[in-house]
Structure 1
Amino acid sequence: MLVTSACLAIFIGLVHSYLGERYILTRLFKGELPKLLGSDWFTKRTLRFAWHLTTVAWWGFAAILFLLTNPSDDIQNQILVVIAVVFFVSGLFSSVFTKGKHISWVFFWLIAGLSFYTALLS
């Protein structure tokens, strides 16, 4: 059952990102958006990375669901590594999509680092 749930989470992430780009974001960006930092570029990039961040989070949940199908004695560390990867990728999205202007990447990478470090200590 958990494998099915994990597969569904991966599928819904793919559908969410694809359909969101195709039918929501592209149409939204044709309209008037707030001009942050002098133009609507930052607004569009922030909306785009935030939209796809949902998919990254869902894939992280899928990985955790998959790990829980056959939990080992090391399950806490495995989940911490998944969390670290999700927040590292989230930081990449934030830094790349906004060229570092949206400072969430700092916090995402701090969370990733602390989670990974904790996994290494255990």
Structure 2
Amino acid sequence: MSEILLTMAAILGFATLLVHSIVGEKRLIGPLVHSNDGVMSNDLAKQVTRFAWHFTSILGLIATFILAKSAYDFAEADIALLAVTGSAFLISGIYDAIITKGKHIGWPMLTAVGALTLFAII
């Protein structure tokens, strides 16, 4: 059961982070860095903004790798690492839901990844 929950969390997290990077680039980051309004008139700000956006996706993909690896060999999984990873996703999802009043499409997926991970270790 734990392996299945972690596999589901990893797949959902992977899909969410790919969408974050691809759709975010197309609908948010691309238009933002092509504008010259405010801080975006500075080339360094444009480069750092794009880098930070995609680096966030990379860090999330590392977290989903932890979930997938743990699902593959649950007997050797680091429960504390899974607890921290699951809590980070769950808290991020709930926080996102609160601050965006549920309008951001990512909060249900982040929350689900966290919940699946935490349910897998209890």
> Which category describes the TM-score, using the shorter chain as reference length?
0.5 to 0.7
CA distance in 1, matches of 2:70, 2:6: 7
* Offset at residue 4 of structure 1 (A): 1.1
Q: Which has the bigger relative contact order, CA under 8 A and spacing at least 6?
A: 2
Matched with 1:34 is: 39
Gaps of 5+ in 2: 82-122
* Offset at residue 72 of structure 1 (A): 5.2
Aligned-pair identity in percent equals 27
Instruction: Indicate conservation of the 8 Å contact 1:2/1:68, yes or no.
Output: yes
CA distance in 2, matches of 1:13, 1:49: 15
CA distance in 2, matches of 1:49, 1:33: 19
RMSD (CA atoms): 2.1
* Offset at residue 32 of structure 1 (A): 1.1
Q: How many residues align?
A: 73
Matched with 1:120 is: none
Deviation per CA, 1:59-115: give whole Å up to 9, x if none.
111111112212354x56xx8xxxxxxxxxxxxxxxxxxxxxxxxxxxxxxxxxxxx
Match of 1:54 among 56, 59, 67: 56
List, as ranges, runs of 4+ consecutive aligned residues in structure 1 with deviation greater than 3 Å: none
Deviation per CA, 1:26-66: give whole Å up to 9, x if none.
2212141327xxx6111000000100011111111111111
* Aligned counterparts, 1:1-122, within 5 A: 1-29=5-33, 30-34=35-39, 40-69=42-71, 70-71=73-74, 73=76, 75=77
CA distance in 1, matches of 2:52, 2:28: 13
CA distance in 1, matches of 2:31, 2:38: 12
**Higher helix content, 1 or 2:** 2
Gaps of 5+ in 1: 80-122
